[in-house]
Structure 1
Amino acid sequence: MLGADDVLDPPPRRVLVAGTAGVGKTTTARRIAQAVGAPHTEIDALYHGPGWTVRPTFAQDVDAFTAAPAWITEWQYRSVRALLVDRADTLVWLDLPKPVAFWRLLRRTVRRRLRRIELWNGNVEPPLWTVVTRREHILRWGIATRNETRKRVAALADSTPHLRVVRLRSQRDVERFVHRLLAGTE
């Protein structure tokens, strides 16, 4: 596995950003897209239809944007994970400490709920009290799936030779990594 200071040659063009819920995948993906001059597609926006239903064109939409020579997105959703990995050249793993990840997820969830921020296709975060009644609530899901993400990424690093895996363990690592990408495009 590579780190924030390792040279990526050739520069990344098809990048996945992986990590548990709330670590900053979408924000980091946008920043990487700007740094390398590639489009960012927010995969959640393709997945979630009205009423939190799966959009029927999700797999086709992912197939279409990943056919391009350059793209950045988040590595999520079992139904398209293999396709994403097959077409990516780099996976950036945000492996932040558990307290940092949880605090970010909690802060984001509360802010979105209190401000009634529309996420995708009219959806908003459910009431905060549902964290105790719904197993799929994002806070519970983020905690429960952290180790799954770690296992999944570690397995990729061992089994997918064409895919460079860059592990970033802190926000400082993220900053250094994005800065190096920016410096490489100047």
Structure 2
Amino acid sequence: MRRVSVVGNSGSGKSTLGRALAARLGVPFVELDAIHHLADWEPIEATEFRRTVGELADGDGWVIDGNYSAVRDLIWARADTVVWFDLPRRTVIRQLLWRTIRRGVTREPLWNGNHETLGSLFRLDPQKSLLRWAWTRHRVYHERYTTASAERGDLTFIRITSRQDAARLLG
């Protein structure tokens, strides 16, 4: 395991596990959100996003965290392993709710000066609310990665369905 794609719903634990796994493997950790979201949550231009991610994916070893379909082909063409977070929806929503509250209260800086806000908890538009995004994308991600794990014999899929699974992967 040297080139690992970590995928799954927002708030599932991808970044936490990805950072720990990268440290354990002695490879760089890449968070796609940090590349995609410029200041004021502006998305990076698509061609630039693909170029940047393609250069990173050409490296000898890495752990890349994110679900962006715009660059999945670049990442999976070089990956040897996909770690797929497939936690129950209630677990993801609970974790994401507490994380959003903490980040909103502390104004924890994210990528490129962006911050989560408590107001996002009350928005119904999935593009403006991580909680709503996670709720609506849960089934999509489950179906996408269930299919991929059955069809992609060139990749090793490790399905994480609990915190214990994540701990065992790192252990």
Aligned-residue CA RMSD (Å): 1.4
Q: 2: distance between equivalents of 1:111 and 1:160?
A: 38
Decide whether the 8 Å contact of 1:96 with 1:169 is kept in 2: yes
Provide the residue aligned with 1:37 in structure 2. Answer: 26
Letter of the 1:144 counterpart = T
**TM-score normalised to structure 1 length:** 0.85
What fraction of aligned residue pairs are identical, expressed as a percent?
Answer: 33
Q: Report the alpha carbon displacement of residue 142 of structure 1 after superposing the two structures with TM.
A: 0.5
Aligned length in residues: 168
Provide the residue aligned with 1:124 in structure 2. Answer: 115
Q: 2: distance between equivalents of 1:28 and 1:64?
A: 23
Provide the residue aligned with 1:80 in structure 2. Answer: 71
Question: Structure 2 matches for 1:16-31, cutoff 5 A?
Answer: 16-31=5-20
Provide the residue aligned with 1:111 in structure 2. Answer: 102
Q: 2: distance between equivalents of 1:148 and 1:134?
A: 17
Q: 2: distance between equivalents of 1:81 and 1:54?
A: 17
**TM-score normalised to structure 2 length:** 0.92
Q: Structure 2 stretches of 5 or more lacking a match?
A: none
Letter of the 1:18 counterpart = V
1:167 matched to 2:159: yes
Q: Cα distance 1:155–1:129, how it changes in 2: closer, same or farther (>3 A)?
A: closer
Higher helix proportion: 2
Decide whether the 8 Å contact of 1:109 with 1:125 is kept in 2: yes
SS at match of 1:55: coil
Larger C-alpha radius of gyration, 1 or 2? 1
Q: Relative contact order (C-alpha < 8 Å, sep 6+): which is higher?
A: 1
Provide the residue aligned with 2:3 in structure 1. Answer: 14
Q: Cα distance 1:58–1:105, how it changes in 2: closer, same or farther (>3 A)?
A: same
Letter of the 1:171 counterpart = R
Q: Structure 1 stretches of 5 or more lacking a match?
A: 1-11, 180-186
Decide whether the 8 Å contact of 1:62 with 1:80 is kept in 2: yes
Decide whether the 8 Å contact of 1:13 with 1:36 is kept in 2: yes
Q: 1: distance between equivalents of 2:170 and 2:80?
A: 17
Q: 2: distance between equivalents of 1:135 and 1:16?
A: 24
Q: Cα distance 1:25–1:161, how it changes in 2: closer, same or farther (>3 A)?
A: same
Decide whether the 8 Å contact of 2:85 with 2:159 is kept in 1: yes
Q: Report the alpha carbon displacement of residue 131 of structure 1 after superposing the two structures with TM.
A: 2.5
1:176 matched to 2:168: yes
